[in-house]
Structure 1
């Protein structure tokens, strides 16, 4: 399996999991305010500080985004491109968000796919403080009672990244779990381990944003670029013929050249580059 050397010490805990009581909710995100603010208010209205959110169909105006890039700085294994975008509108197909807090304030990590004014498909890391919705959008969120994502320094990557944390009491039985996967762990294998640790025979992925060391698909296609960002289109874990958990992930990926590919990932051959964040629900 491919791997990418990181600048810092390898974190002992490779898969961070915080489980608790999950709630699914819907919210209409308003137009004309930064996406970060719209998402934060939707979670606050339900009494939560974060979780994950999915949006399908809508428009950005303006849109600001970056795509992954190689790093010329030895302090980082990869970095971001210059900022792209324009006044819009750009019609988006899907946007996934990890929602939490950064420096004590609401913050969202967004990956999306859209069609620009010129009709060309694009994808990338949407800048939540600079991007606005052009029209109200119906979104679906999931949150964990007494837990959420908080941006913390990550010595392994030398970035500050979302980590799942608990501030409330853990329930006797969990109906959801926040998950964060460290670099060079295969995304599918990590989900299987998460289910094993949680004692779940099956689970569904909600939200889902991250980066991979390239992307190898089940049909043999390969995005060879080192820096590749992804959003999960569909994912889950189910027992295989022997009863062991077997994960599947379908993603949309964009690499450092702006090339886009989508489909089911090859099992066991897609190491995380920087981070992979999601929420799991059993069943």
Structure 2
């Protein structure tokens, strides 16, 4: 089985308004016009926010699972990233990041876009994709239903590549291989996924065997990560020390953001 799948595409940057009163999933779908996309979500007020964290697996078929849902009210998404794709023929989003209730502690993990509602109109950055899309399908290796990049049509002059990295690949090596496969001068990485623990430069490691991670910055080194227990950590990944747990999904851009 191929450990890395990379599909060339055209990514068009836009500033769009996500509408108050809509779920985050519907607001992103409307803003992207039904296309696949990556969203940067920063300082975004929400009426309700529903999320889960990684948790121990309830069976022997999965390396990890999800915690019970936590619902916050009058909250703010401090920093998150979202892949918008398709599942069972309908729009579906994979969102990781950092958030809090007003004056409350910070939380991190996997945000449920279909169960999170915006409280005000909010302007965000989006990269709308032409020629590629993340589509969910059952994955025999992990036992999960995972996003995978598919081609949606010919691309004459790609400026980006949409890719997934499979379990046990070192994340820095995986990103380098995605860059090589693209044949483009990659300037920025937008992505999220899970790692087997998270080891950071000059900081204590998260040792849980599954951590939820968002890439931050453009170089693919900075992360927000959270494990089974305890607070989120932020910092730069220690080189050669972090392997993909279940999957990692990344949009590689040949233009700086």
Residue 20 of structure 1 corresponds to 9
Q: Which runs of 5+ in 1 are unaligned?
A: 1-11, 237-247
Residue 161 of structure 2 corresponds to 177
Q: Give the superposed CA RMSD.
A: 1.4
Return the alpha-carbon distance in structure 2 between the equivalents of residues 261 and 195 of structure 1: 27
Residue 263 of structure 1 corresponds to 235
Q: Secondary structure at the match of 2:117?
A: coil
Give the C-alpha shift of residue 235 in structure 1: 3.3
TM normalised by structure 2 equals 0.95
What are the Cα deviations for residues 67-109 of structure 1, in whole angstroms up to 9, with x where unaligned?
00010211211000001113x1112211210101110001111
Structure 1 contact 67–258 (Cα < 8 Å) conserved: no
Return the alpha-carbon distance in structure 2 between the equivalents of residues 220 and 231 of structure 1: 17
Of 172, 190, 194 in structure 2, the residue corresponding to residue 188 of structure 1 is: 172
Residue 232 of structure 1 corresponds to 215
What are the Cα deviations for residues 88-131 of structure 1, in whole angstroms up to 9, with x where unaligned?
11122112101011100011111121122452111111111111
Return the alpha-carbon distance in structure 1 between the equivalents of residues 206 and 71 of structure 2: 23
Give the 4+ runs in structure 1 shifted more than 3 A. Answer: none
Q: Which runs of structure 2 are paired with 1:84-233 in the superposition (5 Å)? A: 84-86=70-72, 88-171=73-156, 173-206=157-190, 208-233=191-216
* Mapped pair 1:278 → 2:245: no
Q: Secondary structure at the match of 1:36?
A: helix
Q: Which runs of 5+ in 2 are unaligned?
A: none
Structure 2 contact 160–182 (Cα < 8 Å) conserved: no
* Mapped pair 1:79 → 2:68: no
Aligned length: 255
TM normalised by structure 1 equals 0.86
Q: Secondary structure at the match of 2:206?
A: strand
What are the Cα deviations for residues 175-212 of structure 1, in whole angstroms up to 9, with x where unaligned?
01101111111111111111112223443113x11111
Q: Secondary structure at the match of 1:129?
A: helix
